[in-house]
Structure 1
Amino acid sequence: MTTEVTERRPALPSLTGARWWAAFAVFTLHALVFLPVYPFQKSELFRQLHQWMPMQLGAAGVTFFFVLSGFIIYWAFRPGMSVRLFYRRRVLKIYPTHLVAAAAFVLVAAVPLQRLVVWLPNLLLVHAWVPKWSTVGGLNVPAWSLAAEMLFYLSFPLLVPLVLRIPTRRLLLAATILVLGVLALHAAFYLWVPGPKGIANAFAPRLVPGDTSPFYELHASPAWFAQPDIPVSPSYWLGYTFPPARLPEFYLGVLAARMVIEGRWRNTRLAPPMLALVLAYAATWVVPVDFKMSALLIAPTAAVVATLAVRDLRGIRGLNSHPRMVWLGNISYAFYLIQFPVMVLVTRFLIGGRQFGFLGWAGFSVLVLVLSTAAAAALYHWVDLPIMNRFAGRSSPPPDQRTESEPDTSARISAHSGVELEKEASTRRT
């Protein structure tokens, strides 16, 4: 006989606050390469800065989001939840903010709407499935990761019964196998798929001639939207942007959540997993591109996420659980999406046609940070929260508490007897 867990699990403020640091890592990289401040971006100082803040800085933030997404989705999961309600909530959480940020980009970049290929795949969040950089990088560039998130959400009701079949005692083994599978997958990309084979941090801004700052970063320029096709490295696309290749990161987060819930992850010391994450990040300088972007980081990232969750459950408070950090974490999704349109706006009206050095770049970066934070707060409080409160609905009650007005017409996410262990672990914690 199964036991249905209907109680809401405790909030995890440290995980919410930590989201800001992931979004800020992405912003820092984008400010460096997507703000076309000339001649700064052509200087030796820029080259040295970019050595310390290469592409994998932003990629580490994306990996954190993917692992955290799996953790939080399972943390909020309750056996018997309506699949239809689950999908509705995920769509409402993702699309409205995405559409507003995309509309902002269309306006500030003067995107030619007559060419559907330029904007429609991005708008529908299917663009990361296409191995063409003109599609993957079309419209609002950061939105590529949302195509992967939509696959994660689509797969969860289908695959969670398989996840629940894993015995509690074998969760760590399952997570280890998943990590080894990711490493093997990227090794296959490196060995057999065309793409760069060196270890250099090759990602850099796309520069145009001259020492005067252009009015558009290349991804937002009329020349970009006019091109019929822009090739992308097959191994880079498969390893970084192809949604199925990122699916293991989400399910590693799911397994981490199960380990915390069922008492298999009890560590509260943040220093060891953080040290492992720093060492894994440092190792990205000496491995091929196929391993730089996520493969080395997923295991320590999952350990950091699980440890932060356990600390919250034990009442251990730190910087990330401070109310201001929680607020920043809440707006981080909107911040992640709106930062690039703001950069395009600042470039077009303040940077373009002028020359600036390092201090100019730093000043514009701070300006974009402030404007993006303000815009993200507006999106969160005036778009995201009202829509979720009005249309997302509450999770369905157990079958014996449904009224006649709530017929069981949709499929439901099922569970197995392992849920009894979940409830037992929850009881032990309290």
Structure 2
Amino acid sequence: MHATVKLDALTSLRFFAAAMIVLGHTHGAFGSFGLATTLSLAQGVSFFFVLSGFILAYNYPSLSTAAEIGGFLKARIARIWPAHIAAIVLLYLLTSSLNLGALSHLQAGFTALANLFLIQSLIPLRDVFLTFNGVAWSISTEMFFYLTFPLLITSIIPGWKAKLLFISFIVALFLGFSIAWNIPADDASSQVSMMGLLYVNPLVRLLEFFAGILACGAYQKIRANADGKPASLFSVVECLTVALAIGAMWLTPKLTTFLGMHGVIGTALNYYLIKSGSFVFFALLIVAFALGKGILSRALSNPLLVLLGEISFSLYLVHMTLFQWYLANEPYFSNIPLYVRGPAFWLLALGTAFLMQRAIENPCRKLILSINKTSISKGLASAYPAKAIGYMLVAVSLIVMLKTLPPMFAPQGCQSEQCNYLVKNFTLSKSPQFGDSVRLIAATSRKATSGSSNIELAFKLLQPLPKGYILAVHLLDKNSEIIDKSDTYFSKSSSLRAGDEWVEVATLGGKSGNSQPEKLGLAIYLDPSLPMSVESPVSDYNGRRVILDLSSIQSN
């Protein structure tokens, strides 16, 4: 029999856990008021695992038949799988990437299947569990919890103490393995690391999930004796558990240092504590707020906070995709103050999460749960009423806007003080043009003490230029023979819009043998055999390379 009383305070707490993770991932760009450098915000995932165990034990106190277990698993898949797949689609639409790095086709196919069936966290390789929408590793770990949940609450395996001892032994076993084999703590390692063994591994994280199940049992006993107690007592307990949880998040990353534990043992224990060290205090906090009798839990029952909690799962799934989109388009927003960009990102993330929840998460859950209960047409009609379709249309419009809007924020004209100086003092009387896309508007050559020349070139973008184009800068003798050259990617053109001006710099050597540099050759190409055509007073290579008289642009 399922519980019917909704625990609004716990729903709201889900948002704060998700916010911890978002802050931890984005603080380098937007800041976090010092929270990300003071507290271990990665433990927001640990909070989710503990809360998940609590909520499942609360809603499913027993699963005694195969039909009940099947219904439970169906509900869990309906809860997480559609949003997981939608988040991967969103990743590709916004970033044109599936986050596969340099994986081979075979490896990519394997990781695709692992993500499809949510088993990627079982494989302790970063190139597997962080592919596609990387944060979904925790959803894979949750799926493992769902599969083990019927065993954790059944009486077939006797006693919660025996289960706790066995799960704790597994954690100790992986910690011991990490120590004995000196597994690196480097999260960037493509090989087996502590990230795969101690952070992502569902066998290790199962302890936190089980702590949530035990916390639910404690809650049931406390609730039976809670009536008649003064509200002030519960308010004090709530404040105390919040303080303990925050204190634990501050202390756990430092505990091994305080205890003087170093070497491989200290490294492994410290890694585990940073990621999971506060789960006992999270369990205490969850019990206190589940009672719902204190001032803080009543405040968390505010409908707005409950809504934020309801969209927290979608927020978790989409925030890194949106952050990657922001980083890719960051040059467009350079003139917008940081104190505006940070809140704007949060509004975008919350808005996207809301649409994901209303257009994908909720309707698809209803649709999957309707299977074998009604016809497909009736199931679709129930899952996607007019309001849900409206949310879907708004979501599509948002994606289109995110793909097309950023260039409108880019400042036109010069993008730097160097560009302003160059255009002001070294504008060319006749501006050579490369194809229909780029015009050279200013140029200067400065002699360095080493005898080399620093070539500074100011360009104006006439129309968007795709990534991959290369600027070839050639130092030429009087016969237009190359003395030295620099071929570099157009470093900024792909992130600018029409009308923007920017600077490219090349350093070239002095004379070669008896040849003296007298000219400068410039070409832009995607295919080396076919540079852009140019419009210039002087050019060669059949109108494919601009020629400038070096003496006309040299400066002291």
Alignment TM-score, normalising by the size of structure 2: 0.54
C-alpha distance after superposition, 1:186-236 (max 9, x if no partner) = 752553242357xxxx87xx8xxxxxxxxxxxxxxxxxxxxxxx6245233
Shift of residue 51 of structure 1? 6.8
Aligned to 1:72: 55
Q: Given the alignment, which residue of 212, 219, 240 partners 1:253?
A: 212
Shift of residue 176 of structure 1? 7.8
Aligned to 2:300: 320
Q: Given the alignment, which residue of 24, 31, 38 partners 1:29?
A: 24
Which ranges of structure 2 fall in alignment gaps of 5 or more residues? 227-232, 257-266, 374-556
Given that 1:189 and 1:235 are in contact with CA atoms closer than 8 Å, whether structure 2 keeps it comes out as: no
Shift of residue 381 of structure 1? 1.3
Alignment of 1:207-226 (within 5 A): none
Distance 2:349 2:328 in 1: 16
Q: Which has the larger displacement, 153-162 or 242-251?
A: 153-162
Aligned to 2:313: 333
Q: Which amino acid aligns with 2:250?
A: A
* Pair 1:277 & 2:245 matched: yes
Structure having the higher Rg:
2
Given that 1:70 and 1:250 are in contact with CA atoms closer than 8 Å, whether structure 2 keeps it comes out as: yes
* Pair 1:52 & 2:42 matched: no
Aligned to 1:61: 44
When you count strand as a share of all residues, which structure comes out higher? Answer: 2
Aligned to 2:278: 297
Per the alignment, do residues 159 and 49 of structure 1 end up closer, same or farther by CA in structure 2, a change over 3 Å counting? closer
Distance 1:175 1:253 in 2: 13
C-alpha distance after superposition, 1:146-172 (max 9, x if no partner) = 111000001112332148853xxxx6x
Q: Given the alignment, which residue of 154, 158, 171 partners 1:161?
A: 154
Given that 1:67 and 1:302 are in contact with CA atoms closer than 8 Å, whether structure 2 keeps it comes out as: yes
Given that 2:253 and 2:274 are in contact with CA atoms closer than 8 Å, whether structure 1 keeps it comes out as: no
* Identical columns (%): 23
Q: Given the alignment, which residue of 91, 94, 100 partners 1:108?
A: 94
Distance 2:355 2:323 in 1: 17
Given that 1:140 and 1:341 are in contact with CA atoms closer than 8 Å, whether structure 2 keeps it comes out as: yes
Per the alignment, do residues 379 and 231 of structure 1 end up closer, same or farther by CA in structure 2, a change over 3 Å counting? same
Q: Secondary structure at the match of 2:318?
A: helix
Distance 1:19 1:163 in 2: 32
The number of residue pairs the alignment matches comes to: 340
Distance 2:348 2:182 in 1: 40
Distance 1:387 1:47 in 2: 34
Given that 2:300 and 2:306 are in contact with CA atoms closer than 8 Å, whether structure 1 keeps it comes out as: yes
Per the alignment, do residues 353 and 154 of structure 1 end up closer, same or farther by CA in structure 2, a change over 3 Å counting? same
Which of 1 and 2 has higher RCO (CA within 8 Å, sep 6+)? Answer: 1
Shift of residue 122 of structure 1? 2.6
Q: Secondary structure at the match of 1:195?
A: coil
Distance 1:279 1:182 in 2: 27
Per the alignment, do residues 107 and 299 of structure 1 end up closer, same or farther by CA in structure 2, a change over 3 Å counting? same
Per the alignment, do residues 83 and 104 of structure 1 end up closer, same or farther by CA in structure 2, a change over 3 Å counting? same
Q: Secondary structure at the match of 1:138?
A: coil
Aligned to 1:402: none
C-alpha distance after superposition, 1:229-255 (max 9, x if no partner) = x62452332110111111111111011
When you count helix as a share of all residues, which structure comes out higher? Answer: 1
Q: Which has the larger displacement, 325-334 or 136-145?
A: 136-145
Per the alignment, do residues 242 and 180 of structure 1 end up closer, same or farther by CA in structure 2, a change over 3 Å counting? closer
Per the alignment, do residues 8 and 129 of structure 1 end up closer, same or farther by CA in structure 2, a change over 3 Å counting? closer
Distance 1:232 1:283 in 2: 29
Aligned to 2:342: 365
Aligned to 2:323: 343
Distance 2:116 2:300 in 1: 32
Distance 1:94 1:338 in 2: 13
Alignment TM-score, normalising by the size of structure 1: 0.69
Q: Which has the larger displacement, 156-165 or 22-31?
A: 156-165
Given that 2:238 and 2:296 are in contact with CA atoms closer than 8 Å, whether structure 1 keeps it comes out as: no
Aligned to 1:87: 73
Alignment of 1:97-246 (within 5 A): 97-111=83-97, 115-117=108-110, 119-162=112-155, 165-166=158-159, 184-185=172-173, 187-189=175-177, 191-196=179-184, 231-232=190-191, 234-246=193-205
Distance 1:67 1:365 in 2: 29
- Alpha-carbon RMSD across the aligned residues, in angstroms, is 3.5
Distance 1:371 1:71 in 2: 31
Aligned to 1:223: none
Aligned to 2:405: none
Distance 1:27 1:157 in 2: 31
C-alpha distance after superposition, 1:371-409 (max 9, x if no partner) = 111111111112222223343259x9xxxxxxxxxxxxx
Distance 1:324 1:50 in 2: 24
Distance 1:129 1:352 in 2: 38
Shift of residue 175 of structure 1? 9.3
Shift of residue 322 of structure 1? 1.0
